């Protein structure tokens, strides 16, 4: 188990290292000078003022030292949680902006991922045992998982938001409200949350249901299932064993799907103007706010790494083979 987890940990540390390096490179490779953009936005009146501002920003962004020093400085500030300042929301620190956005991502993604995973698995397992259910679940599942996230989001917003008028289609809460702890606000929050959640949930659900359905059929054909049948074991026991075995690849599948889920979350947040990191990174790009792009990228990687770690621990719990230090995992 230690070998399994430490190997994974090494990969995560290397991934993080790579991500921070990419992150450091971004503003240095990007076209256009972020400082020029920012200065032009503030609209200084004469060359002296421009120079003054430029020096100030150079110091602020630490661009006036050699490259290797910049790199080390960057690591220092990343580890201290200092990601620079946004030019779009100047002078707010990037860290603050992201901190404000993260709760919305957690609030949106965690339920969508977990509920779709559990529901999809159970539904897929159920589909595998009844032909009529299988014949309906399978096509619906394939349609759902082939649906682009933003299109389903658009359809739901149009049908349930505009035409039916049941749900709001933008923001995390109503304009006239300020975040505070009250029943009114929570209700409003959930009201706005529902459509983005539903569109993410539906697409993921299709994928899990199909995955489980296929896995469980495969497991029901496995040797251990057959042997149980020759021992006259009841179907309930055979299905229980098959389910437990079929869940394992679904757990690793969750780790593999995280990339797609991130993409889906970005698109969905854009459709519903939901104030998470996905929305943030898109507006950062549109406004060439490189420090904000950096910060968002880093946080996306961090989130994915955390999720991976969590999944690994879950996997060790469900698959005894990893505990015994024998290769049983697929990821």
Partner 1 sequence: MTLQVENLTLYYQTLRGDARALEDATFKMADGEIMGVAGESGCGKTTLGHGIVLLKPPMKFVRGRVVLDGEELPIWDMERMREYRFRKISIIPQYAMNALNPIRKIGTMIGEVVRSRGIDYGAILPELKRRLDLVGLSHDVLKMYPIELSGGMKQRVVLVLSTLLNPSVLIADEITSALDVSTQKAVMEMLVEFRDRGFVKSIMVITHDISILYQVADSIMVMYAGQLSEKGPTEVIIHRPRHPYTKMLIGSLPKVGVRYAETRLSGIPGSPPVLLDPPPGCRFQDRCPVAFEKCRDVPPFLEIEPGHFVACWREY
Partner 2 sequence: MGLKARSEFLYFAWRNKKLRVGLAIILFFALMAIFGPFLAKYPPNEYVEVAAFPPSREHWFGTTIFGQDVFSQFVHGLRATFIVGLIGGTIGTLLGILIGFTAGYRGGMVDEILNMITNIVLIIPTLAVLIIIAAYLTVRGILTESIFIGLTAWPWAARAIRAQTFSLRVREYVDMARISGMKSWRIIFGEIAPNMMSYLLLVYILQFGGAVLNAAALDFIGLGPTDTVSLGLMMNYALLWAALPLKIWWWFVPPGAAIMAIVGALYVTNVGLDEVFNPKLREL
Chain contacts with partner 2 (rule: CB under 8 A):
11-12, 14-15, 18-19, 22, 26, 29-32, 142-143, 145-152, 154-155, 157-158, 161-163, 169, 221, 256, 258-259, 262-264, 266-267, 270-271, 281-282, 285-286, 288, 293, 297, 300-301, 304-305, 308
Of partner 1, partner 2, none, which one sits near residue 195, judging by CB under 5 to 8 A according to partner kind?
Answer: none
Sign of the dihedral defined by the CA atoms of residues 266, 148, 131, 229, in that order: negative
CB of 231 to partner 1, least distance (A): 4
DSSP one-letter code for 85: B
Which pair of tokens denotes residue 174? 């109503």
Grouping H, G, I as helix, E, B as strand and the rest as coil, residue 102 is helix
Cβ-based nearer residue to partner 1, 105 or 219:
219
In 3D space, the residue among 63, 19, 21, 20 whose CA is nearest the CA of residue 38 turns out to be 63
Q: Does residue 324 interact with partner 1 by CB under 8 A?
A: yes
Cβ-based nearer residue to partner 1, 49 or 229:
229
Give the largest CA-CA distance in the chain. Answer: 90
Of partner 2, partner 1, none, which one sits near residue 232, judging by CB under 5 to 8 A according to partner kind?
Answer: partner 1
Cβ-based nearer residue to partner 2, 97 or 267:
267
CB of 183 to partner 2, least distance (A): 29
Of partner 2, partner 1, none, which one sits near residue 258, judging by CB under 5 to 8 A according to partner kind?
Answer: partner 2
Q: Does residue 318 interact with partner 1 by CB under 8 A?
A: yes
Distances from the Cα of 275 to the Cα of 43, 104, 106, angstroms: 29, 7, 12
Q: Does residue 184 interact with partner 1 by CB under 8 A?
A: no
Which long-range contacts (C-beta less than 8 Å, at least 24 apart) are formed by 233-241? 239/125, 239/129
Task: Give the one residue of 234, 256, 314, 317 binding partner 1; rule: CB under 8 A.
Answer: 234
Q: Does residue 241 interact with partner 1 by CB under 8 A?
A: yes
* Residue 79 CB coordination number (10 Å): 9
Q: Does residue 245 interact with partner 1 by CB under 8 A?
A: yes
d(CA 114, CA 261): 12
By CB atoms closer than 10 A (0-12, 13-18, 19+), residue 264 is: buried
In 3D space, the residue among 170, 171, 150 whose CA is nearest the CA of residue 161 turns out to be 170
Of partner 1, partner 2, none, which one sits near residue 316, judging by CB under 5 to 8 A according to partner kind?
Answer: none
Site for partner 1 in 212-231 (CB under 8 A): 222-224, 226-231
Of partner 2, partner 1, none, which one sits near residue 142, judging by CB under 5 to 8 A according to partner kind?
Answer: partner 2
Instruction: Quickly list DSSP for 165-209.
Output: --S--SSSS-TT----SSHHHHHHHHHHHHHHHHHHHHHHHHHHH
CB of 268 to partner 2, least distance (A): 10
Cβ-based nearer residue to partner 2, 116 or 294:
294
Distances from the Cα of 173 to the Cα of 110, 176, 185, 189, 283, angstroms: 19, 9, 8, 5, 19
Of partner 1, partner 2, none, which one sits near residue 4, judging by CB under 5 to 8 A according to partner kind?
Answer: none
CB of 240 to partner 1, least distance (A): 9
Cβ-based nearer residue to partner 2, 154 or 246:
154
Cβ-based nearer residue to partner 1, 51 or 130:
130
Grouping H, G, I as helix, E, B as strand and the rest as coil, residue 93 is strand
* CB half-sphere exposure, 99, CA atoms < 13 A: 8
> Which residues make up the interface to partner 1 (CB under 8 A)?
222-224, 226-234, 236-237, 241, 244-245, 248, 318-321, 324, 326, 328
């Amino acid at each position: 188990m230690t070998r399994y987890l430490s190997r994974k940990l090494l990969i995560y540390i290397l991934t993080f290292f790579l991500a921070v390096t990419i992150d450091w490179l971004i503003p240095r490779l990007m076209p256009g000078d972020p400082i020029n953009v920012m200065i032009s936005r503030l609209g200084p009146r004469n060359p002296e003022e421009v120079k003054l501002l430029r020096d100030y920003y150079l110091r602020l962004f630490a661009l006036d030292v050699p490259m290797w020093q910049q790199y080390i400085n960057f690591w220092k500030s990343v580890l201290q949680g200092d990601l620079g300042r946004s030019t779009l929301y100047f002078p707010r620190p990037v860290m603050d902006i992201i901190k404000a956005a993260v709760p919305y991502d957690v609030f949106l993604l965690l339920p969508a991922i977990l509920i779709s995973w559990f529901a999809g698995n159970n539904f897929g397992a159920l589909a595998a045992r009844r032909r009529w259910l299988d014949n309906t679940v399978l096509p619906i599942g394939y349609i759902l998982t082939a649906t682009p996230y933003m299109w389903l989001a658009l359809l739901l917003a149009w049908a349930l938001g505009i035409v039916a008028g049941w749900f709001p289609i933008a923001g995390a809460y109503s304009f006239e409200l300020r975040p505070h702890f009250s029943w009114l606000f929570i209700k409003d929050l959930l009201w706005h949350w529902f459509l983005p959640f539903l569109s993410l949930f539906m697409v993921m659900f299709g994928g899990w249901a199909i995955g489980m359905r296929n896995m469980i059929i495969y497991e029901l054909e496995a040797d251990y299932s057959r042997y149980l049948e020759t021992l006259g074991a009841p179907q309930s026991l055979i299905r229980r064993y098959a389910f437990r075995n079929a869940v394992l690849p679904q757990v690793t599948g969750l780790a593999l799907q995280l990339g797609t889920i991130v993409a889906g979350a970005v698109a969905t947040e854009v459709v519903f103007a939901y104030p998470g990191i996905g929305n943030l990174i898109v507006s950062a790009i549109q406004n060439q706010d490189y420090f904000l792009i950096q910060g968002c990228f880093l946080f996306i990687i961090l989130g994915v790494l955390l999720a991976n770690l969590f999944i690994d621990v879950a996997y060790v719990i469900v698959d005894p083979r990893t505990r015994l230090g024998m290769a049983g995992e697929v990821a």
